[in-house]
């Protein structure tokens, strides 16, 4: 993966904005140490998932929050673009100021349940989804229909406790996976990302 490095047991990305920290992370020789307890993508990578992110890729990020993970993706996809969607004005304000410092990030205040709200986004190579909604898999499917190129990839962070606290997480992971397989997705790989996040699974998919 581009601009991604190992520093002892830590992952780090080559800082697109030299010397500038985003969330208080350590910077060593312009490499930003990536905290897996604050980024599910980092956790998945540390658990051994191979994620097909390349330098010129276009990404739709659903549930971007204030931008911790997308800032590291920005380091990696430095010649591409990341459209970050979130419905919360407070975190979108923080993300907006991050985007002012990083030219490959675009902030979008919108509801991931309603992709028509941001239909100006072009077709993308990759969708990254990290939303706390009970209909998470349907959100991914509808956004993929709108925006994901044929054979494009999606990385879906399944939050089992946001779907149903009464069911076992492994049962929810299986149900979500089967739903997506029945609706045009191919499962490439999956990783339970404990101990960094409990009751979460990273699911890498290809669409169409």
List pLDDT tens digits, range 24-49. 999 999 999 999 999 999 999 999 99
Is 12:34 a contact under the CB 8 Å cutoff? Answer: yes
Q: What is the pLDDT of residues 66-120, one digit of tens each?
A: 999 999 999 999 999 999 999 999 999 999 999 999 999 999 999 999 999 999 9
The topology under which CATH files domain 35-207 is: Rossmann fold (3.40.50)
- Report cis status (omega within 30 of 0) of the bond before 124: no
10-14 vs 4-7, strand pairing mode: antiparallel
pLDDT at 188: 98
Q: In what order do the strands lie in the sheet with 4-7?
A: 4-7, 10-14, 31-33, 27-28
Residue 156: beta bridge partners? 129, 203
Rounded to two decimals, the pTM is: 0.96
Which run of H or of E encompasses 60? strand 58-62
27-28 vs 31-33, strand pairing mode: antiparallel
Between the CA atoms of 102, 68, 50 and 43, what dihedral angle is there, to the nearest 10 degrees? 160
What is the torsional sign of CA 37, 105, 22, 13?
Answer: positive
Is 77:55 a contact under the CB 8 Å cutoff? Answer: yes
Q: What is the pLDDT of residues 153-182, one digit of tens each?
A: 999 999 999 999 999 999 999 999 999 999
pLDDT at 204: 98
Q: What is the pLDDT of residues 127-152, one digit of tens each?
A: 999 999 999 999 999 999 999 999 99
How many C-beta atoms surround the C-beta of residue 194 within 10 A?
13
């Amino acid at each position: 993966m581009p601009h991604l490095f190992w520093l002892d047991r830590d992952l780090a990305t080559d800082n697109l904005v030299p010397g500038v920290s985003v969330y208080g992370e350590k910077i060593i020789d312009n490499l930003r140490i990536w905290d897996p307890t604050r980024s599910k993508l980092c956790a998945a990578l540390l658990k051994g998932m191979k994620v097909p992110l390349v330098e010129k890729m276009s990404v739709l990020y659903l549930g971007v929050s204030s931008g911790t993970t997308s800032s590291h993706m920005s380091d990696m996809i430095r010649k591409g673009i990341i459209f970050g969607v979130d419905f919360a004005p407070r975190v979108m304000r923080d993300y907006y100021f991050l985007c002012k410092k990083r030219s490959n990030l675009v902030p979008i205040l919108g509801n991931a349940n309603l992709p028509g709200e941001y239909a100006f986004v072009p077709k993308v190579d990759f969708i990254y989804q990290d939303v706390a909604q009970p209909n998470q898999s349907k959100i991914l499917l509808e956004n993929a229909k709108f925006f994901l190129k044929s054979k494009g990839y999606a990385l879906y962070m399944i939050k089992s406790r946001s779907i149903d606290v009464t069911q076992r997480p492994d049962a929810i992971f299986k149900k979500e996976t089967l739903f997506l397989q029945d609706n045009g997705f191919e499962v490439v790989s999956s990783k339970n990302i404990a101990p960094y996040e409990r009751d979460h699974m990273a699911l890498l998919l290809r669409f169409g």
